Structure formats: C-alpha cells, structure tokens
Amino acid sequence: MSERRSFWGFGRRKSAEAQPEIPAPDSAAPDSTAPASATAPAASAAPGTVSGDTGVREADVRGTGADPAGTAVDTATEPAPTAGATAAKDGWFSRLRKGLGRSSNRLGDQVSGLFTKKKLDASSLQDLEDILIEADLGVDTAMAITDRLSQQRYARGIDADELQEVLADEVEKVLAPLARPLEITGEAPFIVLVVGVNGTGKTTTIGKIAAQQAAAGKKVVLAAGDTFRAAAVEQLKIWGERSGCTVVAGAPKADAAGLVYEALDAAADADVLLIDTAGRLQNRAELMAELEKIVRVIKRRNPDAPHAVLLTLDATTGQNAMNQVDIFGKTVGVTGLVMTKLDGTARGGILVAIAAKHKLPIHFIGIGEGIDDLAPFQAEDFARAISGL
C-alpha cells in the first residue's frame, strides 16, 4: 500500500524512502486579482471559452456519438475521463486541500495533542467530541464520529490515518445528499436571486457563475441590484464585459425592485437572469423587507420565479453563518447555498454543521478570486480535504 503523507502530526506511517509531496500542477494558475481591479476587460466570450481572471480557456469537448469512420458509438457507455479532465480535477483538489489547510491543521493539532497522551477510552472520546464541536462541525456530526469510534475495538489506540478516514467518512455522509449542481432547467429565462449579508462575495459569485454559464453557450443577463454600492455595479459590469453578458444597471441608490423589473424585460429572450442584491444584516427588518419586495416584483411577472434563491455565506463568520441561513430562509425561501472564502479561515467545518441542520443543497464553494476558484460542490473532495487526507 502506497504511503500517504498525513496532515496531522501524530501516528504517521513511514515508508522506507519518504518522498516530499509534490502538489498536482494546475493547468492555469488562478489570478489573485479581484475583478474590480481589472484593467482591460476582454471582449464578449465566444462559446467554448471563458475570458476572465485566468485568461482564455478551452471548454470541455463532448463526443459526437460517432468514430472517425462514421461508425455509431454506444453513447450509453460513459467515456473514461480524459487526461485533461483528470488533471483539472487533481488541480482543483490540490487547491481545495490547500485552501482548507487552516481548518484541517487546527483540527489536527488539537486531536494530536489529545491522542499522544491518551488511549481511546471514554474520557478521550468525550474530549474528542468537544474538539470536533469547537471546530464547528456541529454536535450531530461530532457525536456520530465518537459513537462510531466507541463501537469499534480501539483499546490499543488509534493512529492518525484511521481517525482521518473515520472523520472523512462521517463528514461525507452528511454532505453527500446535499451536493447538487445548480441546474438551469425549465422555462427561460431561469431567474436566480443571490442574497446574503455584506462582504460574503455575492457580486463576485454572480460574475463567476455568469462566466461559466456563458462558456456553456447560455445567453446571460446580469441585474446590478446592489444600487447602494457603486463598486458593486462597476464590478458586475467588468464581469459582464469579460463574459459577454448584458448588464442592467440603474442610477446610484435607485430602487432595487424597479431595476429588477427592468432586468426582467431585458432578459425576455435570455436563458439565465442573475440578480445581485445589496448586502444586508439579517437582523435589520427594513432591509429584509426590501428583499421581500424584490421577490414580489419577480413573482408578478412569473409566479414560479425566482427559480433559485442562492445564499452566499462567508466561511470566516463561523457560527454566525448558521443564523443567516435561518433568517434569509424565512424571508425569501433560500433554495441553495454558496460557501465562499474557505481559503481564509480555520472554521471551514461550519459548512458541515449547516448541512446537518438545514439540509439545503450546496451548489458551490469558493477558495479564491479566480473564475476556477468557484466550483460545484463535491462532498467527497471536501470531506477528505478538511480531514487532511
């Protein structure tokens, strides 16, 4: 069995010749420059490309259903992943593991301190449960992990690899049913309302989703509904220019609901309408009322819309993110989550606690400023990265 380097500082299995870990190479390193500081916006993106922080990239090319000789191919059989697709996945996981390094290291340091002093008994299991709760994984997940360990015969103790595998497995059990891509389906335009408190990355998230959808051949319209922050409008315009998307913007401090009404007209022949909103604290009733007004305006035009309400959450806020899900869910009926800034915190475990409590789909996670740093959520990847595997 090949050796795996443990992130945690205890119980490491040593190979005969330990080799330093080499990070998987990225096909294109993400540009750390935020969209708002871009200088020369690219022209409209052609189908199959994305213009943005990471430059121009070719989209995945799907097969045509025939071989070069014209012989029909059995399309029911899923093709094996290409070398490029495998490299891209490895590159993303490498960045995700690095981004979640502070979370996994914090957890690992505490656990290693515990198990270098104690064997796995009732007392150490209780201490482990406390550590997992303090790491924001949530009470239910912490209890599931310690219950599982208590049912197995670990009188001899447990090493890092075994504990990491148990942790990853239990975290994946919580997250796997909720890892769902944002599906743009049904009648057009598919209307997406993006909400959240100040500083959670709503505008940047919208820009990245727009670029991805445009690259997939969708006609996308962006509504600059954050009329109170001029920088947000300019930032969204830059994203629109880069990805070839129409941006509907109004005067500073204009009525956001009125602007959304105009955007609905502009998006009549579009595939997707992405609506930005001003950041608002969840405890400000008057600001939440404005958000409700936007939803009412949308529903007057289409009773079935918005088709998706995405709540962006800043991972660095920890337990406060749990309260945001509660309030925004009651106000506008959140349908899915986007967790941002996982690369800037040791509190990434909060996503597990939120998932266990609210059971909301998790569509995307973000680990940086580049377009490729917002990716569809994969439960297994997240579970292994936060566990240090």
Q: Residues at the annotated binding site?
A: 196-203, 276-280, 340-343
Angle between helices 379-386 and 83-99 (to 10 degrees): 40
Distances (CA, A) of 381 to 45, 93, 133, 228: 30, 7, 21, 37
Point out the annotated binding site for GTP.
196-203, 276-280, 340-343
Cα–Cα distance for residue pair 238/22, rounded to 1 Å: 36
Cα–Cα distance for residue pair 69/357, rounded to 1 Å: 54
180 contacts 336 by C-beta, under 8 angstroms: yes
Cα–Cα distance for residue pair 179/185, rounded to 1 Å: 18
Task: Express the helix, strand and coil content of the chain in percent, nearest 5 each.
Answer: 45, 10, 45
What sign does the CA torsion over 6, 9, 15, 19 have? Answer: positive
216 contacts 272 by C-beta, under 8 angstroms: no
